[in-house]
Amino acid sequence: MTTTVLYRIRDWDEHYENARTRQYKTLGFVTMPNRYDSDKMLDLLEHDDGLAVFGCFVLLVEVASKCEPRGDLMRDSKRPHDAQSLSRLLRVDTKAITRTLEVLSNEPFTWFEAAVYMPCTEPPCTAAVQDAYRSRQKMDAELNRIEMNRSCAELPAFAENSTPNKPTVIWIPLVGNNGEHGITQAMVDEWKVAYPAVDILAELRKIRTWCLANPANCKTKRGVARFVNGWLSREQDRARRPAASVPGEKVINGSIHHTKVVL
């Protein structure tokens, strides 16, 4: 029996989607990272055919942006693309496509994930059934990863490469299928000093609830710390803003002004 391989662009939700693209079922454009000074990018360009491989990769990203689900190199017939089908679609030499998939599916790049494709063979075999099966696989893998991260955080201090114990007090959901970001007690203690007028734990619970209610607007692992800091900073400013409590007082630009009251 011939094994069918499904190529998937790694971390598609994090690197190639944003709040705007998630609103569309089909895309006429695609967002891409524009960093060309990363170690992997520099290593790729040092290859003799690195530029050609990168050019093919960009074309494959554009193809993946139109597939369902986005990020998977899947044909309209719900069969995985291979080098031959991609070559016909893009009018690019089959050897160039094969070389790109080979280089970028292995270390040190791993820009593609290569998985054995398991088609649904029992009736009814519909696109919805396959999508649900694939979504369940992703969800199970993500739950396992989150559980592993939490277990690692609870390792005793004498574990190999251990660091001082930093218990996690709350988890902030990340965008896409990228799990959750742990907020440690040490971070909470720093925020208590920086924002003394704010109930830090109460606001963190609000942030988590907001993220669960607005998954499309959650942040990436890089952006979640800035998001939390911005939220707490606004709450600090709001807590410092005086309020008029006596008749004849008005708050203007954060200051209390007295006005004459005529009885």
**Tens-digit pLDDT profile for the chain (263 aa)?**
567 899 999 999 888 998 888 888 888 889 888 877 788 888 898 888 999 999 999 999 999 999 988 999 999 888 999 999 999 999 999 999 999 999 999 988 899 998 888 775 545 455 555 666 666 666 666 666 665 555 544 433 333 333 445 678 899 999 887 888 889 988 999 999 999 999 999 999 999 999 988 888 899 988 898 999 999 999 988 887 655 455 555 555 555 555 554 54
Q: Which two tokens stand for residue 214?
A: 């607005």
Q: Give residue 21's pLDDT.
A: 87
Q: Give residue 231's pLDDT.
A: 93
Q: Give residue 206's pLDDT.
A: 93
Q: Give residue 154's pLDDT.
A: 44
Closest by Cα among 175, 154, 174 to 165: 154
Q: How many CB atoms lie within 10 A of CB 21?
A: 16
* Helix, strand, or coil (residue 256): strand
Sign of the torsion angle spanned by Cα atoms 200, 203, 209, 212: negative
* Continuous H helices in 79-223: 83-90, 94-104, 127-153, 185-194, 200-213
C-alpha distances (whole Å) from 117 to each of 4, 8, 130 are 5, 11, 11
CA dihedral 150, 151, 153, 156 (to 10 degrees): 160
Q: Give residue 257's pLDDT.
A: 55
CA dihedral 16, 19, 24, 26 (to 10 degrees): 0
| Domain extents in the chain | 5-117, 120-165, 166-263
The phi and psi torsions of 8 (rounded to 5 degrees) equal -130, 135
Tokens 């893998």 found at: 141
Distance CA(90)–CA(43), nearest Å, equals 26
- CB-side exposure of 263: number of CA atoms within 13 Å? 1
Distance CA(157)–CA(166), nearest Å, equals 10
Q: Give residue 9's pLDDT.
A: 93
List strand residue ranges (DSSP E) for the chain, in order: 5-9, 112-116, 168-173, 180-184, 249-252, 255-258
